[in-house]
Amino acid sequence: MSTKTKNVSTKDLATESLSNNNGNGMQKNERLEVLKTYKVYIGGKFPRTESGRYYKPTNSKGEILGNICLSSRKDVRNSVVAARKAFTGWSGATAFNKSQILYRIAEMLETRKAQFIEEIVFQGSTEAEAKEEVAAAVETFVYYAGWADKFQQVFSSVNPVSGSYFNFSAYEPMGVVGIIAPENNSLLGLAQSIAPAIVGGNTVVVLASESKPLCSITLSEVFHTSDVPGGVINVLTGKLDELVSFFGSHMDVNAVSFHRESDKHLHTIQELAVDNIKRVKNYTPSTYKTEAETQNPYKIIDLQEVKTTWHPIEVIGASGSGY
């Protein structure tokens, strides 16, 4: 199969597939393949963009990846509403529960390896790169799953204040986090930006890679079948240029985690963030080659607030008893 599919006609569809680019053209007496419609993921549902718009990213060979939802401001807002609604439940879920759900994501991802490899290859990677990326994505979810019930223990503190008080500082999630996912590494980049955010109890609104969006929606299906409560992860496809200001200005987004190589867009977000003092975390797009890049609990801490709690201790010692 080699024909470019610039204009998808019925005839084209009869002879080749949009998403199944495995190099084997369809034989005449084979069945007609059912093509996948890529939609967005909001509040645990897979709607199309409310705008009804789409765009057609292509791979390096000029092949069209699909009719991808061109999300709008309204989609961002709907996603934030869904994420906010899910926040109380998800942040209140036990660490063990969060851990299990992240591990479940890894399991689901592992069993659908083939599909992701196919998508990543179609998006332009080699088979070997694709295999490596999918494996690394699985490892990412396993790694961060394990932190769910440990980062508090490692990074929190009991503070020895002068006076009869019990005083401790512990971490709490920032809230709703906007994630501008990496443009490359369409699967691993999502895993690396989403896992540290949700394992700490945040809920997220993710803008997937514009040029390589296929994995984002398939990964959403993985989330959906991994007991991630609806609204905890919301995934949009579309153009950063169009949506950047809404991530920056939305008053109910607490933080933005930015993973693109675009100072212009970063600065737009940073400037708009001032209105509600959003926390903006900028991550240099990573190659995700070293462990230091891919396994970093400080990425969890980046999206946490420290809460310090005081309570008096009755001074029993003063009356003579004690231990």
Partner 1 sequence: MGKKDLNTGLKLGVDSKWQYSPAPESTSHINLKKKYDLFIDGKWVAPSSGKYFDTINPATEEKIADIAEANEKDVDKAVKAARKAFGPWSKLPAKERAKFIYRIARLIQERAREFSVIESLDGGKAIRESRDVDVPLAAAHFFYNAGWADKLDYAFPGKKPEAIGVAGQIIPWNFPLLMAAWKLAPALACGNTVVLKPAETTPLTALKLAELVQEAGLPDGVVNIVTGAGSTGSSIVNHNDIDKIAFTGSTGVGKIIQKSIVGTNKRATLELGGKAANIIFEDAPIDQAVEGIINGIYFNQGHVCCAGSRLFIEEPVYDQVIRKLKDRINTLIVGDPLDKNTDIGAINSKAQLKTIKDYIKIGKKEGAEFFEGSCSLPSKGFFCKPTLFTGVAQSNKIVQEEIFGPVLAVQTFRSVDEVIKKANNTPYGLSAGVWTDKGSKIFNLTSQMRAGVVWANTYNKFDPASPFGGYKESGFGREGGLHGLSAYLNLN
Chain residues that interact with partner 1, rule: CB under 8 A? 154, 157, 159-163, 165, 167, 169, 172, 174-175, 254, 263, 267, 270-271, 273-277, 279, 297-298, 305-312
Minimum separation from the CB atom of position 288 to partner 1 (A): 18
CA–CA distance, 37 with 57 (Å, rounded to integer): 14
Q: Between 15 and 287, whose beta carbon lies closer to partner 1?
A: 287
Minimum separation from the CB atom of position 277 to partner 1 (A): 5
Minimum separation from the CB atom of position 3 to partner 1 (A): 46
Task: Tell me the two tokens of residue 128.
Answer: 């070997």
Q: Between 57 and 297, whose beta carbon lies closer to partner 1?
A: 297
Amino acid symbol at 139:
E
Minimum separation from the CB atom of position 201 to partner 1 (A): 11
- Sequence-ordered strand ranges (E) for 65-215: 68-69, 157-158, 165-173, 176-180, 203-207
Minimum separation from the CB atom of position 168 to partner 1 (A): 9
CA–CA distance, 60 with 144 (Å, rounded to integer): 33
Q: Between 114 and 251, whose beta carbon lies closer to partner 1?
A: 251
Cβ–Cβ < 8 Å for 224, 234: no
Q: Between 207 and 273, whose beta carbon lies closer to partner 1?
A: 273
Q: Between 26 and 81, whose beta carbon lies closer to partner 1?
A: 81
CA–CA distance, 59 with 1 (Å, rounded to integer): 15
Half-sphere exposure of 320 (CA within 13 A, CB side): 0
Minimum separation from the CB atom of position 88 to partner 1 (A): 9
Q: Between 64 and 301, whose beta carbon lies closer to partner 1?
A: 301
Cβ–Cβ < 8 Å for 151, 302: no
Cβ–Cβ < 8 Å for 47, 38: no
